[in-house]
Amino acid sequence: MDGFFGIEIARRALETSQYGMNVTAHNVANANTPGYTRQRAVLEATESFPAPYWNRPLVQGQLGTGVRVKVIERVRDSYFDGQIRKENQALGGWQVKENALKQLETIFNEPSEAGLQNAMGEFWNAWQQLSRNPESISIRSSVLEMGRMLVNSFNQLSDKLSRLQENLNDQVAAKVNEINSIAEKIASINHDVLRIRVYGTEPNDLLDQRDQLIDQLSKIVDVKITELDSGVMLVYINGRQLVSEQSANQLQAVANPLNNGFYDVKWALDGESLVMYDGELKALVDSRDVIVPKYRGNLDLLASTLIAEVNNLHSRGYGLDGTTGWNFFTGTSAKDIALSSDVDDPKHIAAASSWPPGGAPGDNTNALAIGALKNAAVSVGGSLTTMDDYYRSIVANLGIDSQEASRMVENGKLYYDLIENHRQSVSGVSLDEEATNMIKFQRAYQAAARLISVFDEMLDVLINEMVR
């Protein structure tokens, strides 16, 4: 033991206090950085002197040799990470469904003057007007015009639903690319973490980046995480490995000709379909293949029923010129419903149900019967209901589904925010706490500096004063 023993202890204290101050400064600088986890310097006493070996110096007891920084650790609770990611999957799925249903509500646009409900009402009213004056060419032309407006409403709704499906399909491909990109980044960070940990240090900022990427990924698709002792994180989707220690498997969006060319999500390695249970990607596929087709099917059923019921009456009636057997509509669905070329001539509109000898115009009973279809109970998909009521039920069910999705999103956000607040209470940076740490390390640094001054004075006495 020499005279510089105490100075060495003080030097270590200076370095440790400065290190702690640097960690505090890093926390303060990143107080508002998304995904940042608070760090702290874990201190430990250095080995005592002398060490317990056979030829150790004969001194009274052991002396401490100071302090050092053992590790810079992240203050993070993996339990909250797991809870956040589970809730992320459910919340992401409901947000996608809510968005799809809101777009459906905008497409149907009910109630409004531009909606299908109003177009149907105008069509039935035109037939009622025709029943009051079946010989009027202008009213017959109005019936054709209202029929054309109704046809356009069906066609436009069908086109908009098709575009919505195409948009959802494009989003599926975009999400697949996003998953691949995130997986590659996680694999790259895994490689860096493994390389840095070999040297015995903690790559805390890299771990924050990786956790943030996994949080993003968990919102897109349901993932499971396994962390190895080496610090590497393995990512699985339904038991299949997406990210390994240093590489990532790829997904691909493959057009399915049996599903209108829409994308199926498959593993690039062997073409096996990706099995999903939750998340944005699953919700996009469900919205594209289940939710939108459900309302398209309801709309097509309404259109086909309207075509059949109107044609059934119209084909048995008589026009102003005595012709009969004409259909009013053609097509079988909302997509292809159209006015029949049979009624290009307004005189062919069958307002009469009989045709007397001598070329008389006939009566208005067929026009009344067609106009009465508005409130007539007909078979729609095997159930007796009016076509107006059936359409109202479509719109009402859409509103209920949309409200349910909005409610689930709202509840999911509340629970997510609750868990996130708990996580931030552990991992977030508290500026008040960091201010306290600054004072603590500052005072420790000042005390260590004072120690060095005292030892310097002692050595000065030893070297200079004793010589005299």
Chain segment 163-180, per-residue pLDDT in tens: 999 999 999 999 999 999
In a domain, 128, yes or no: yes
pLDDT at res. 241: 94
Asked if residue 50 has a cis previous peptide bond (ω within 30° of 0), the answer is yes
Give yes or no: residues 237 and 374 share one domain: yes
Among the listed residues 44, 53, 48, 68, the one whose alpha carbon sits nearest the alpha carbon of residue 1: 48
At 454, the pLDDT band (50, 70, 90 cuts) reads: confident
pLDDT at res. 229: 87
Which letter does DSSP use for residue 397 in this model? H
Share of the chain above pLDDT 90, in %: 67
Range of the domain at 441: 5-75+430-465
Give yes or no: residues 140 and 38 share one domain: no
Give yes or no: residues 296 and 164 share one domain: yes
Give yes or no: residues 404 and 437 share one domain: no
Q: Which residue has the tokens 């990786």?
A: 210
At 358, the pLDDT band (50, 70, 90 cuts) reads: very low
In a domain, 145, yes or no: yes
In a domain, 308, yes or no: yes
In a domain, 424, yes or no: no
Give yes or no: residues 275 and 311 share one domain: yes
In a domain, 425, yes or no: no
Phi, psi of 252 (to 5 degrees): -145, 150
Give yes or no: residues 404 and 451 share one domain: no
At 364, the pLDDT band (50, 70, 90 cuts) reads: confident
Into how many domains does the chain fold? 2
Give yes or no: residues 271 and 300 share one domain: yes
Give yes or no: residues 287 and 410 share one domain: yes
Kindly state the average pLDDT of the residues 368-373: 92
Q: At residue 110, does pLDDT exceed 80?
A: yes
Kindly state the average pLDDT of the residues 217-231: 92
In a domain, 419, yes or no: no
Helices (H), 223-286: 280-286
Q: Mean of the per-residue pLDDT values for the chain? A: 90
Chain segment 253-293, per-residue pLDDT in tens: 999 999 999 999 999 999 899 999 989 999 999 999 999 99
Rounded to two decimals, the pTM is 0.86
Q: At residue 194, does pLDDT exceed 70?
A: yes
pLDDT at res. 302: 95
pLDDT at res. 467: 58
Question: How far is C-alpha 307 from the geometric centre of its chain's CA atoms?
Answer: 40
Give yes or no: residues 10 and 69 share one domain: yes
Among the listed residues 264, 336, 272, the one whose alpha carbon sits nearest the alpha carbon of residue 307: 336
Residues in CB range of 6: below 8 A, 6 or more apart:
451, 455
Give yes or no: residues 20 and 64 share one domain: yes
pLDDT at res. 7: 84
Give yes or no: residues 263 and 409 share one domain: yes
Give yes or no: residues 88 and 151 share one domain: yes
At 17, the pLDDT band (50, 70, 90 cuts) reads: very high
Q: At residue 357, does pLDDT exceed 50?
A: no
Kindly state the average pLDDT of the residues 421-438: 92
In a domain, 107, yes or no: yes
In a domain, 421, yes or no: no
At 2, the pLDDT band (50, 70, 90 cuts) reads: low
